[in-house]
Structure 1
Amino acid sequence: MPWWSWVLIWVALSACTVTFLVLAGVYLVRKGLALMRDASAALGEIAERPPAAEGPAHDHEASPSRRAPGSAVFADPDLMRREYEEGRELRRLSRRDRRVERRRLRGQPQSLHDLGLI
């Protein structure tokens, strides 16, 4: 094989490498710009939202008997058990109410147990 064929092989390999790197760079720049556009749009939507209403977001957080973290260590075990069971029942009823409402909105049949008929 003559010496100039090696030069042609290396020139072709180098050209392919440079072409690949340029195309990969263009691809990454375009994806990065699209990401920045989406992030800008999302931040714009967040900025346009009114501030959240004051107060807790969940019903179980609204109870006045909400204790500070760690206070259960020194509390009466019977009282803590009763509060836990009451909270568990409130959460169960809340889930049932949401399920009944969701099924009503979708036009799905209701469970007799959910309606309190069983």
Structure 2
Amino acid sequence: MLPWWFWVLLWTVLALATLLFLVLAGIRLFRGFMAVANDVGEAMEKTGTAMDAEVEPRHYPEVADRTPSGVAALFQDPATAREIYELGKANRSADRRAGRIARKIRRGQPQRVADLELF
């Protein structure tokens, strides 16, 4: 059997080791929290300055004319409805092509041969 002072010494050392571990873990946790708080503060500053900057106004395209749908379109002549559909389809395709050409010019990219309508 071990003497009583050995048990006192053992439990004192164990308690001090546990206390030291908790203090070091707390310091590391606090440093990690402060690093995250610093990053969040920088992100908020960047967001705030980006929202304060003057932005040039956006120019939205005009709303395209559309054929009425529903009951009024139900009573149209099928040939007329098909012609209107095909015309709208061609207009949408031309609008997409024009937008693609303008975007590629703006970015300095080469054009597609199909967009140039050479053939």
Identity across matched positions, percent = 20
CA distance in 2 between counterparts of 1:37 and 1:52 reads 25
Q: Does 1:38 align with 2:46?
A: yes
CA distance in 2 between counterparts of 1:22 and 1:105 reads 47
Count of equivalent residues: 106
In the other structure, the counterpart of 2:118 is 117
The code of the aligned residue for 1:94 comes to: D
SS in 2 for 1:88: helix
Tell me the alpha carbon deviations over residues 73-101 of structure 1, each in whole angstroms, 9 at most, x when there is no partner: 22214566555443332221122223344
Tell which has more relative contact order, 1 or 2 (C-alpha 8 A, sep 6+).
1
Q: Give the structure-2-normalised TM-score.
A: 0.64
CA distance in 2 between counterparts of 1:15 and 1:40 reads 37
SS in 1 for 2:72: coil
In the other structure, the counterpart of 1:24 is 32
Gap runs ≥5 in structure 2: 1-6
The code of the aligned residue for 1:58 comes to: P
RMSD in angstroms over aligned alpha carbons?
3.2
- Runs of 4+ in structure 1 off by over 6 angstroms are none
Q: State which drifts further: 34-43 or 96-105.
A: 96-105
Structure-2 change in CA distance of 1:8 and 1:107 (3 Å): closer
Q: Does 1:58 align with 2:64?
A: no
Gap runs ≥5 in structure 1: none
CA distance in 2 between counterparts of 1:21 and 1:104 reads 50
Say which one has the larger Rg: 2
